[in-house]
Amino acid sequence: MLPTVQDIEPRIRKASDHPDLITEDDLWILSGALLLCLREDDNGVSREYARLAEGRDLQQDVAESLANLTIRNRNPTLEPLLVTFERDQQFYEAMHAALAMTFPRTNGEPIKRNTVTQMQMEVLKRLAAAETIWTSDMTLRDRLIEHGLPSTRHELNRMVVPLG
């Protein structure tokens, strides 16, 4: 069953205000909201949300709320976030949320390549493949440093290319 605005809206608030209380069920609802936004026929959920949320964008609000969450081994929202970002590489919030949900904050302490998980590497590969975010997102460099990641596209590409 597809999530409704009545299912989605409280989970956005919960993820924003109380990220430590988010359950796996909440993540499935938020994942469903992102998947609906990717469809042409979202059953009017985006429009209904905009009407109830004073014109705010459902996809934007979900992505921004997910950026508050901590790392989890199972997170059904990650793939929809990455697909959202791939479809619109100017939707930086989707990548910000993916980074926040897969990499701990290290306060600048670099992450070692041999400790990067498969899920983390997938996020990095998609980020490295993107063009627009590197030239237009003025917060990307600081976000990467905050998570111990290379702060330039060249350095990130060196990290994600298999060592030969």
Instruction: Name residues whose C-beta falls within 8 Å of residue 28's C-beta, 6 or more positions apart in sequence.
Output: 76
C-beta of residue 105 within 8 angstroms of C-beta of residue 70? no
Domain ranges of the chain: 5-160
> Which one is predicted more confidently, 102 or 75?
102
pLDDT (0 to 100) of residue 154? 94
Per-residue pLDDT tens over the stretch 109-152: 899 989 999 999 999 999 999 999 999 999 999 999 999 999 99
Per-residue pLDDT tens over the stretch 117-129: 999 999 999 999 9
pLDDT (0 to 100) of residue 43? 66
C-beta of residue 3 within 8 angstroms of C-beta of residue 32? yes
| DSSP helix/strand/coil, 41 | coil
